Amino acid sequence: MSTTQFLFSGFGGQGILFAGKFLAYKGLMDDKQVSWLPSYGPEMRGGTASCGIILSDEPVGSPIVANPDVLVAMNLPSLDKYESAVVPGGMIFADSTLIERKVNRDDVTVYYVPATRLANENGMPTLANMILMGKILSALGDFSEDSLRAALGKVISAKRADMLETNLKAMQIGADFE
Amino acid sequence: MADKVLMKGNEAIAEAAILAGCRHYFGYPITPQTEIAAYMAKKMPKIGGCFLQAESEIAAINMVYGVSSTGKRVMTSSSSPGIALKSEGLSYLAGADLPAFIVNVQRGGPGLGGIQPSQSDYFQATRAGGHGDFRMIVLAPASVQEMADLTVKGFALADKYRMTAMVLADGTMGQMMEPVSLDFDIEPAPEKPWATTGTKLEREHNIVNSLFLAPEELEKFNFDRYERYKYIEENEAMYEEYLVDDADIVIAAFGIAARVSRSAVNEARKQGIKVGMIRPITLWPFPKAPFEKAAEHAKAFISVELSMGQMIEDVQLATKCKAPVTLCNRAGGMIPSPEQVLEAIKNAANGGAK
């Protein structure tokens, strides 16, 4: 695919914007054209955060992700809102700790990852976002430690080098989850 | 690639302004441009600059007037209703021939409106920035890189012509992140012999003022200023053409509308429709020449806007009504989709534009 549109959505505080920024930096370092656009409207005041990321081999036209190829839903309202928007043949990654229902569509590939539970069990309760990220990148066949490490270096300040390792571990946990 | 960083459009403006030598920022918070002020608040104290959150927009623009009078590079930023409050100051800056750099990250209006992206301050920026006869140079970025580039350019143009240069962006341009390179060759600010810097008893007083009670004198200032504006119209218009040469249908769009339209143009081309786009980068001066040229072969123009149709008037003027100009728009903080623009293109291709 020459252009992939991602939509990350969840509660404020789940690291939605951070995960998106990480992915955008990874794209930048992989020589892709990238855009990252957060929601900043009234829905934010209700505690919902989302951001759209586009990675492309061509200049990005509209940065607005209306129909994602990849939807990452970290809570039920996000799945309810965006499930129908995913393009046929697309992918949905759901945090199955927080979303009890199944995806209703049969024309998309769905990955249920109990990311919040895995994060808590591994002593990294704030990193459910990156556990999902690990699963996404492995599903897309784009999981290489060097590349992840380099992109993490862009979004985590040098003073917090320990966090870099923890984020990397979180992504490995996600990638290993069957 | 190595020198590119991901930044929000608002942050790119702030950093580019600092690189351009701006050490004075005055503002008052308003969504969706607050990151500019936040960036300045963090950075200015570290580099010997001044960040000041004024008590109001009106105070902020008058602080800009004050610093500009001393010859320093200075800026303020706001969003639509805040710029309306600054209009009086914009007029005074024009009347006193002071350079200033202003940013409007537009939101939906009128009134307090909403906080979602809009382009409905086109008239305000290109026509009615305040009372009296005057113009502002209006720059319309369509990427985060251009947010930075046009900021650097804006400071240079403001100094060169002793007038206000405004970046007219919108909420998406301000909030989105894209890779940006901040590797600029900054031209030093020109000498400003008119600035009020203290005479040291070695020269006559410089007076910065916009009050001229003798009508003959005030008229002369207006005429002289418009000579300068004429020169700017002839020399500073900027635009980007995309697939226009063989186009039957030509889209006019700036900023985020141009990004959306570019996606639609690509799709329409795949479907065999000869469509192109002219993207004005300066809204004033409006780039008339490419429209005049395109009107010789285009059968229809479509103005794509996040407003009820404002730039469309300039497109009609520039094309001298040689071909119909239709509007494809959303308003109030909504953004046209590529599909909506594609529909408008198909409609025009089927002779729907009258």
Tens of pLDDT, residue by residue over A76-130, are 999 999 999 999 999 999 999 999 999 999 999 999 999 999 999 999 999 999 9
Q: Does the distance separating the beta carbons of A41 and B116 come in below 8 Å? A: yes
Size of interface A-B (CB pairs under 8 A): 65
DSSP secondary structure letter of residue A157: -
| Dihedrals phi, psi of A49, to nearest 5 degrees | -125, 140
Residues shown for chain B: 354
**Lowest-confidence region among A42-46, A58-62, A131-135, B8-12:** A42-46
What's the pLDDT tens digit per position in B6-32?
A: 999 999 999 999 999 999 999 999 999
Taking the C-alpha atoms of residue A38 and residue B105, their distance in angstroms, rounded to an integer, is 16
Q: Which strands sit side by side in the sheet containing B74-78, from one edge to the other? A: B50-53, B24-27, B74-78, B100-106, B164-170, B137-139, B282-284
Alpha helices for B1-55 (secondary structure H): 9-19, 34-43
How many other CB atoms sit within 10 Å of the CB of residue B332? 16
Residue A29 sits at the chain B interface (C-beta within 8 Å) = yes
Is this complex's ipTM strictly greater than 0.85? yes
- In this structure, are residues A11 and A75 in contact, taking their beta carbons and an 8 Å threshold? yes
Q: What is the mean pLDDT of residues B135-140?
A: 98
- pLDDT at res. A109: 98
Q: Does the distance separating the beta carbons of B260 and A61 come in below 8 Å? A: yes
- Mutation target to probe the B interface, by most B beta carbons within 10 A, among A62, A87, A147 is A62
Residue A35 sits at the chain B interface (C-beta within 8 Å) = yes
The residues, any chain, with a CB within 8 Å of residue B255's CB and separated by 6 or more, are: B119, B140, B141, B142, B168, B169, B170, B173, B306
Closest approach of A124 to chain B, Cα-based (Å): 27
Residue type, B354: K
Name all contacts of B37-41 with Cβ < 8 Å and 24+ positions apart.
B37/B77, B39/B10, B39/B11, B39/B14, B39/B15, B40/B14
Domain boundaries defined on chain A: 3-176
Computed over every residue of chain B, the mean pLDDT equals 96
- pLDDT at res. A44: 62
- pLDDT at res. A46: 63
SS3 content of chain A, % helix, strand, coil (to 5): 45, 20, 35
- Which is more confident, A1 or B241? B241
Computed over every residue of chain A, the mean pLDDT equals 94
- In this structure, are residues B80 and B107 in contact, taking their beta carbons and an 8 Å threshold? yes
Residue type, A5: Q
Taking the C-alpha atoms of residue A94 and residue B354, their distance in angstroms, rounded to an integer, is 49
Taking the C-alpha atoms of residue B302 and residue B328, their distance in angstroms, rounded to an integer, is 7
- pLDDT at res. A42: 64
Q: What is the mean pLDDT of residues B54-79?
A: 98
pLDDT exceeds cutoff 80 at B146: yes
Q: Give, rounded to a whole angstrom, the gap between the first and last alpha carbons of chain B.
A: 47
Q: Does the distance separating the beta carbons of B259 and A24 come in below 8 Å? A: no
Q: For residue B249, which of B321, B353, B335 has the smallest C-alpha distance? A: B353
- pLDDT at res. B1: 42
Q: What is the mean pLDDT of residues B287-295?
A: 98
Q: What is the mean pLDDT of residues B203-223?
A: 96
pLDDT exceeds cutoff 90 at A158: no
How many other CB atoms sit within 10 Å of the CB of residue A56? 17
Q: Which strands sit side by side in the sheet containing B4-8, from one edge to the other? A: A109-113, A91-95, A70-73, A3-11, A48-56, A33-38, B177-181, B4-8
- pLDDT at res. A47: 73
pLDDT exceeds cutoff 50 at B2: no
Residue A60 sits at the chain B interface (C-beta within 8 Å) = yes
What sign does the CA torsion over B299, B305, B307, B313 have? negative
Q: Does the distance separating the beta carbons of A64 and B172 come in below 8 Å? A: yes
Spell out which residues of chain B touch residue A25, defining contact as CB-CB under 8 Å: 6
Topology of domain A3-176 in CATH is: Pyruvate-ferredoxin Oxidoreductase; domain 3 (3.40.920)
What sign does the CA torsion over B240, B263, A80, A133 have? negative
Interfacial A residues in 140-169 facing B (CB < 8 Å): 154
Taking the C-alpha atoms of residue A107 and residue B163, their distance in angstroms, rounded to an integer, is 58
Residue A93 sits at the chain B interface (C-beta within 8 Å) = no
- pLDDT at res. A118: 98
Alpha helices for chain B (secondary structure H): 9-19, 34-43, 57-69, 80-95, 122-126, 144-161, 171-175, 215-235, 255-270, 288-294, 311-319, 338-349
Q: Which residue in the set A36, A41, A62 is minimally distant from B6, CB to CB?
A: A36
What's the pLDDT tens digit per position in B237-262?
A: 999 999 999 999 999 999 999 999 99
Q: Which strands sit side by side in the sheet containing B300-305, from one edge to the other? A: B239-242, B275-280, B249-252, B300-305, B325-329
What's the pLDDT tens digit per position in A3-12?
A: 999 999 999 8
Percent of chain B surpassing pLDDT 90: 97
Q: For residue A148, which of A128, A170, A127, A126 has the smallest C-alpha distance? A: A170
| Dihedrals phi, psi of B87, to nearest 5 degrees | -60, -40
Q: What is the dihedral of CA A61, A62, A67, A73, to 10 degrees?
A: 110
What sign does the CA torsion over B109, B111, B116, B117 have? positive
| Dihedrals phi, psi of B21, to nearest 5 degrees | 100, 10
Residue type, B38: A
A31 → chain B, closest CA residue: B1
The residues, any chain, with a CB within 8 Å of residue B71's CB and separated by 6 or more, are: B189, B192, B194, B195, B196, B197
Q: How confident is the model at residue A48 (pLDDT cuts 50, 70, 90)?
A: confident
Structure tokens at A35: 């855009």
Q: Does the distance separating the beta carbons of B175 and A40 come in below 8 Å? A: yes
Please report how the helices A16-29 and A145-155 are oriented relative to each other, as an axis angle in degrees rounded to 10.
Answer: 120
Residues of chain B with CATH 3.40.50.970: 4-235
Spell out which residues of chain A touch residue B4, defining contact as CB-CB under 8 Å: 28
Spell out which residues of chain A touch residue B179, defining contact as CB-CB under 8 Å: 28, 34
How many other CB atoms sit within 10 Å of the CB of residue B111? 9
Taking the C-alpha atoms of residue A61 and residue B154, their distance in angstroms, rounded to an integer, is 25
What sign does the CA torsion over A118, A122, A128, A133 have? negative
Residue reference for tokens 């955008």: A24
Helix (H, G, I), strand (E, B) or coil at B128: coil
Domain B240-349 -> CATH class: alpha beta
- pLDDT at res. B353: 64
Topology of domain B4-235 in CATH is: Rossmann fold (3.40.50)
